[in-house]
Chain A
Amino acid sequence: MTPDQESLAGCEAFDSLLDEFVEESLDAAESERVSAHVATCETCATACEALHRATRALATLPELDCPDHVIDRAAAIGRPATPTRQRTAHLRPAWRYAALLAIAASLVLMLVPTSETQRSPQQAATDSASEPESSTPRAQLAQARDTLREVRSAVADNRIDVSARAVERGLVQPLQKTFAAVSRSKLGEWGATAGALLNAVQPAPRENNG
């Protein structure tokens, strides 16, 4: 290595320290070492001066305040229409209602395979032989129960926002149809009774302010 190359390599080593040197974040010994080098090296002295000037220049740029109308507009657009506390209060009866419906739905779904017993043993055997495992009433019942459990859990955890209208459309009406279908069978009287009970406890649709 020639003396010039040696000097250049030395400068490269110092160059990586110049940022911290300018920021005064080196420890005392290292700072002294860099300072001594800069005092004797024109290249590093120039680099150091330029760095110092650049960081000082940026430090003169002022922090700027955001106009109030921007803050207000963002709040008007993004802020939830109902405060969290009111939303929680809104969700609580929805959760209770959904839980009640889930229980009612479970009751109905328990009745569905019961009606299967009305089929003749031959017919049941033929059906089950031609149906895949996942489409058997037992599998569908298990799937329906899992779905209801997930819905109930999601509502309980506030992971989904359920309005009375959504419950009405998504759960009550389908269940009422199910109750009606089950009630046509002789063993579906319990289902019809449960449907009537459900109608009796169904609250009036809530005004949606959001």
Chain B
Amino acid sequence: MAHPNADRRDAMDPTAVGRLIEQHRRRVYTLAYYTLGSHADAEDATQLTLVRLWRHADRIDPGKAEGWLVRTTRNVCVDLIRQRGRSRETTGSEANQTAIEAAASHDAPPQAHAEAVETRGEIERALAQMPEPHRSLLILREVQGMTYQAIAEALDMPLTSVRVYLHRARRKLAAQLAPLHETSSTEPTANRPEACTHDA
């Protein structure tokens, strides 16, 4: 029989919590930003998540802390969206603002960079159209590069469900981005061989 305080023996002290935050602050903030679509909201969500981490650190298994952070961040974001009674779509304008600021401070040729940041804004807006859990799964997998298994554990979701949701989410996003590609690509078939005939 396990010791009743087995998890407490491995509990994190404040130093370990601080280290954990340093390690995962980008993951938490990135997930919050692309889910909520604004830096102000992302800061609120990150703060709420980290406050919970501090308060419950003695009950979190350090080996599962990353999953706990991801799950809590997503839950906090979903709660914020619900509480504020608005969907992420209404905050898409910040993607434009971010793009403009990035363009103004970048060294690349102005036109090329402007196109790049505009594309980023379009991608963020397309992501904003995604319902949950598609959006979170796309961010975790495609932006942050988490493995299917890690996502399944973090979100407490069967691995098969993660695969199925991502399968649908990618197709939805592809449909959202299709107009962008049609307007920006001058040679629509040029990429096909490179993109889809790669060798194993």
Q: How many pairs of A and B residues are in contact by the CB < 8 Å rule?
A: 147
Interface string of A25-38 (1 = CB under 8 A from B): 01111111001001
Cβ-based interface call for A204 (8 A): no
Which A residues are CB-close (under 8 A) to B30?
A: 63-64
Is the beta-carbon distance between B43 and A67 smaller than 8 angstroms? yes
Is the beta-carbon distance between A78 and B55 smaller than 8 angstroms? yes
Is the beta-carbon distance between A61 and B196 smaller than 8 angstroms? no
Question: For the complex, what is the distance from the CA of A26 to the CA of B30, rounded to whole Å?
Answer: 29
Cβ-based interface call for B5 (8 A): yes
Cβ-based interface call for B68 (8 A): no
Count chain B residues whose beta carbon lies closer than 8 angstroms to a beta carbon of A.
58
B84-92, B118-126, B151-159 - the one binding chain A: B118-126
Question: For the complex, what is the distance from the CA of A54 to the CA of B142, rounded to whole Å?
Answer: 9
Which A residues are CB-close (under 8 A) to B142?
A: 55, 58-59
Question: For the complex, what is the distance from the CA of A29 to the CA of B200, rounded to whole Å?
Answer: 8
Question: For the complex, what is the distance from the CA of A47 to the CA of B67, rounded to whole Å?
Answer: 32
Which B residues are CB-close (under 8 A) to A50?
A: 171, 174-175, 177-178
Question: For the complex, what is the distance from the CA of A160 to the CA of B34, rounded to whole Å?
Answer: 40
Which A residues are CB-close (under 8 A) to B167?
A: 16, 19
Residue on B nearest A39 in the bound complex, by CB: B197
Which A residues are CB-close (under 8 A) to B82?
A: none
Q: Give the interface SS of chain A, mostly helix, strand, loop or mixed.
A: helix
Is the beta-carbon distance between B200 and A54 smaller than 8 angstroms? no
Is the beta-carbon distance between B123 and A58 smaller than 8 angstroms? yes
For window 8-29 of chain A, which residues contact chain B by CB distance below 8 Å?
Answer: 16, 19, 21-22, 24, 26-29
For window 114-132 of chain B, which residues contact chain A by CB distance below 8 Å?
Answer: 119-120, 123-124, 126-127
Interface string of B109-149 (1 = CB under 8 A from A): 00000000001100110110000000000110011100000
Is the beta-carbon distance between B143 and A74 smaller than 8 angstroms? no
Given contacts A60-B120, A84-B13, contact A26 B143 (CB under 8 A): no
Is the beta-carbon distance between A66 and B123 smaller than 8 angstroms? no
Which B residues are CB-close (under 8 A) to A51?
A: 170-171, 174
Residue on B nearest A36 in the bound complex, by CB: B197
Given contacts A24-B198, A51-B171, A58-B123, contact A78 B5 (CB under 8 A): no
From A21, A47, A64, A74, give the contact of B51 (CB < 8 A): A74
Is the beta-carbon distance between B47 and A70 smaller than 8 angstroms? yes
Residue on A nearest B193 in the bound complex, by CB: A39
Which B residues are CB-close (under 8 A) to A61?
A: 34, 120, 123-124, 127, 143
Cβ-based interface call for A57 (8 A): yes
Which A residues are CB-close (under 8 A) to B127?
A: 58, 61
Which B residues are CB-close (under 8 A) to A53?
A: 174, 177, 181, 191, 195
Question: For the complex, what is the distance from the CA of A24 to the CA of B197, rounded to whole Å?
Answer: 11
What's the minimum C-beta distance from A84 to chain B, rounded to whole angstroms? 5
Is the beta-carbon distance between B13 and A83 smaller than 8 angstroms? yes
Cβ-based interface call for B53 (8 A): yes
List 29 A-B residue pairs with CB atoms under 8 Å apart, sorted by A's residue number. Answer: A26-B200, A30-B200, A32-B200, A35-B196, A35-B197, A35-B198, A38-B197, A45-B192, A50-B175, A53-B174, A53-B181, A53-B191, A55-B170, A59-B143, A63-B26, A64-B42, A66-B29, A66-B43, A71-B25, A74-B21, A74-B46, A74-B53, A77-B47, A77-B51, A78-B51, A78-B55, A79-B17, A80-B54, A158-B5
5 further A-B pairs in the complex, CB-CB below 8 A; given A32-B199, A63-B30: A24-B200, A63-B26, A74-B51, A75-B50, A83-B14
Shortest beta-carbon contacts, A-B, top 4: A78-B54, A31-B200, A74-B50, A58-B142
The interface of chain B, by Cβ under 8 A from chain A, is 4-5, 8, 13-14, 17-18, 21, 25-30, 33-34, 42-43, 46-47, 49-55, 58, 119-120, 123-124, 126-127, 138-139, 142-144, 163, 166-167, 170-171, 173-175, 177-178, 181, 191-192, 195-200
